[in-house]
Amino acid sequence: MSAPSELKLTHEAARGGCLLRFEGAIDTNFPRARVVEVAKGVVVFDLDAVTRITSYGVREWVKTLKEVGCDYLGFARCRPALVTQFNLIANFAGQGELLSFYVPYVCPGCGEYAEHLLELRKHDAEVKAFTPPARACPKCQEAMELDDLPQTYFAYAAKTRTPSPPPLVDALLSGTASQGVSKVPFAIEKDVLDELTVLRLSGEVDKSANFKRVADGLEGNVVVDLQRLMHCTPEGLERLRGLFGVQGPTLFLARLPPESAVQLAQDPALLGNAKVVSVLLPYACAACQRSQTCEVSPLLVANERSRLPCPRCRTPLSSLAEPSELDAIKRLPAALPPGNVADFLEGRLLEQSSSESSFGRYQLLRQLGAGGMAEVFLARQTAVAGFEKRVVVKRILPHLSTDERFIEMFLDEAKVAARIAHPNVVQIFDVGQINGRYFIAMEFVNGWDLSTLLRTCVRRGEPLPVHLAARICADVCAGLQAAHEYTDDSGRAQPIIHRDVSPHNVIISTEGQAKLADFGIAKAPDSKNRTPADGFKGKMMYMAPEQANPAEGQQLDPRADLFPMGLILFEALTLEHTFKRVNDFQTMRAILEDPVPRLANKVPGVPARAQAIIDRALARERDQRYPSAAALRSDLEALVADTGQRATGTDLATWVKARLSSQDMVSNAESNTSTWVRLTPNGVTPT
């Protein structure tokens, strides 16, 4: 192996953070110990002068980011070689945020090559549409072309949220944050999102801060977002009193930094009627060896028995906050956020002025989720005589609107799901095309997805009671039965296999009815949706053996949907994944080889029928499994009877509502959760 080339590191410190400038090639020479030592507070990696990165350099880079414990990390001016790593290497960004990168262009006329810097905050919409900004050739002035495939080069940036760095980042990049004396001026932004007013405070609050004009006319619920607040002088705190004491609106303070929490706790009267709904605190996972900033409710901080689970391995996280900071947070007036405040914190509200809010006869109210192929909205459908109906609209992303293969798959999903009319299946109402964008309109389900409920149960250390877990599974089996027994107009059997039965796709309505959602990868005999020969669809930890490791020529049948029902019942009763391991390969091996765990070792007093149901549902040979969803449902109903407990929809809804509230609602038919206790990389809400 050749000796690693020299890499130069320049450290430019400022109050509250630093800029780290790298120059040269990143190899085994990456100064990991030095970076970990100085990367405190708000940190920016300036990568403009990095010429290349080797495989060994990637290894050192990833190790470094796991050890860095800063409050915010941003990557700026990344050259194409580094952009490739963001696209190809999982977790290459760690807990950081990509701010800007160079885009390679080539002139088709004269062959001139040039790299142009792209700021994601300015060009995020173009990146998500895989449309490179127009550039003219510096030599011949002809229009240049991207010297790569847009879907490849913009892949990582397109799936991340628009960057929202602290104000110090711009000061560090511009060179105005001089060492030890930097001061970020105070600024305030006001937005009206749906029926919510949002005030974003940033910089340092001192005697020059003026809230009088912005406080005039406030009404309803108001969120004061303090994520970018850097410091408050004593005079600045007095200025804040004028805002927090305003009469009329209800103020909710969100994303409160620890330093600000300490300052406010020293004078509780300062807050007036304002309530704190979330704080930003540092945590670490001993198993994953990662530190991260978490946005949590102060109510959870006050409950010392509650421990946050790691999003990767569910190991309880350890707080890195100072005891004085935790004590201050416990003294703050806290509250759970009402619905529209929780929606804002989850990034799902659309600006009222946005042209995107109107989509044909649908009024888009807020975004529920987005992926690499489609986006999902809560919408209002309007018609004559004041008719209104809440629905969920799933819409193809712009760059796929001309992809005939994907459109065919998208419409095939709608066609398959629309065939099933059953109260335990989310319904499809409409499918079509508006302004060149294909969409599906489906049933709006006000409630919670089972995945959210199970995570909350883990946090509380309280599994579902046997009779309610069996009730949920029985309802899902009723929906599966309708899919598996579907017949066409001629009476010919056309069984529909879901292929992705999991807690994420089970929604429990506020009336206590479990519904099966997302037939996006379902299979019907005449479906054109074909899985590639070299891949599979679904979530590995919930797959039947024949789906996880298909034999040549073997066709799936409805019994593949019954295997995950056994996994879901086991998980609901024990709060453990039956076969989940550290990676998909080991999970697949466990599904194919490991013995089924015994409930009696984990749930004392559980009826013997529960283990019998799980054993039969999880039989690896499908001929030994339940022959139908109806047969499995019958045994689940008998299990409810064995417990001697009532398990009506009202009973289920009452139990769930006592543990979850409006901030946990999915309010949609695609199981896009809005879990309240969220782990966010350095305070930046993930996609």
Which residues are part of the catalytic machinery?
A: 500
Q: For residue 670, give the nearest of 518, 538, 542, 521 by alpha carbon.
A: 518
Q: What is the CB neighbour count within 10 angstroms for residue 413?
A: 22
Q: What is the CB neighbour count within 10 angstroms for residue 215?
A: 19
**Quick check: 468 and 651 in contact, CB under 8 A?**
yes
Question: Which amino acid would we find at residue 255?
Answer: R
The angle at the Cα of 437, spanning 449 to 131, to the nearest 5 degrees, equals: 100
Could you tell me how far CA 667 lies from the centroid of its own chain? 15
DSSP 213-266: HHHTT--SEEEEEEEEEEEE-HHHHHHHHHHHT-SSSEEEEESB-HHHHHHHHT
**Quick check: 22 and 47 in contact, CB under 8 A?**
yes
Question: Which amino acid would we find at residue 462?
Answer: E
**Quick check: 177 and 14 in contact, CB under 8 A?**
yes
Bridge-based pairing of strands 388-396 and 428-434 is: unpaired
Element spanning 223, H or E = strand 221-232
The residue with tokens 């309803």 is 220
Residue count of the chain: 687
Give me the numbers of helices (H) and strands (E) for the chain, helices first please.
22, 26
Q: For residue 396, give the nearest of 363, 431, 365 by alpha carbon.
A: 431
Could you tell me how far CA 151 lies from the centroid of its own chain? 21
- Tokens for 409, please give them: 């798959």
